[in-house]
A and B are shown apart, each in its own frame.
Chain A
Amino acid sequence: DAKTTQPTSMDCAEGRAANLPCNHSTISGNEYVYWYRQIHSQGPQYIIHGLKNNETNEMASLIITEDRKSSTLILPHATLRDTAVYYCIVRAPGTASKLTFGTGTRLQVTL
């Protein structure tokens, strides 16, 4: 599975959009981009995934560049409860493999 690069930390004001970037320049054509988050002392929570097209669900939007070498997770109206570590992971479908987590981006939402 391709390696990802994320900023170590980011801040966002409550009510504003949080845009979390991820670089995955070695991504293969069949690899999906997954986002998880982990609130302190809890298990990782699935957010969203995508292959080529932009995706949106009730939690977030995922924007993938046309060359698929990077993506951005968007939380449209961040709240204090969105403070967490956000992990960007790429993984090919059908593989038996584990998810390979990096150290993620620590998002701090402030008043």
Chain B
Amino acid sequence: DTGVSQNPRHKITKRGQNVTFRCDPISEHNRLYWYRQTLGQGPEFLTYFQNEAQLEKSRLLSDRFSAERPKGSFSTLEIQRTEQGDSAMYLCASSNEGRRPATQYFGPGTRLTVL
């Protein structure tokens, strides 16, 4: 399977704990995006990387959120001191910006539940 993969698929945590999610993009894709989706809403953009550089962050990405893509391949999204409002589906997408237009392909998501 050469699609975008995300781990874990589900995460249940207690309020105040830290959690980390991983995204493995399609291998030749140089752009990687993180989105968040709450119940009944469409996905909302959080941040994106061009190779290892984080180029844009949404105002939704509070100080408790940090994302990395250290070698320009996989990416991690960490949430510190989780709050119940962080409960959502976290989606990763990747694209090859060498193509015009570039199409983003999504992974299956990580569903976070904060108790």
Q: Residues on A close to B: CB < 8 A?
A: 32, 34, 36, 41-46, 49, 85, 87, 91, 93-94, 96-104
Contacts and interface: CB of A to CB of B under 8 A. Distances in A.
Nearest to A51: B101
Nearest to A102: B42
B45 A100 contact: yes
Contact of B107 (A34, A43, A87, A100): A43
Given A32-B101, A49-B103, A96-B55, A41 B111 contact: yes
Contact of B104 (A46, A85, A104): A46
Contact of B43 (A41, A44, A49, A93): A44
A5 to B, nearest CB: 13
A96 B48 contact: yes
A101 B55 CA distance: 20
A25 to B, nearest CB: 20
A43 B42 contact: no
B103 A34 contact: yes
Contacts, number: 63
Contacts of B101: 32, 49, 91, 93-94
A46 B55 CA distance: 24
A93 B96 CA distance: 12
A36 to B, nearest CB: 8
A15 to B, nearest CB: 28
B109 interface: yes
Interface in B1-56: 4, 6, 31, 33, 35, 40-45, 48, 50, 55-56
Contacts of A87: 42
Most chain B beta-carbon neighbours within 10 Å: one of A32, A94, A97, A101: A101
Given A96-B48, A97-B56, A99-B93, 13 more contacts: A42-B109, A43-B108, A43-B109, A46-B103, A46-B104, A49-B101, A49-B103, A96-B50, A96-B55, A98-B33, A98-B45, A99-B35, A99-B104
Nearest to B50: A96
Contacts of A45: 106
A44 B45 contact: no
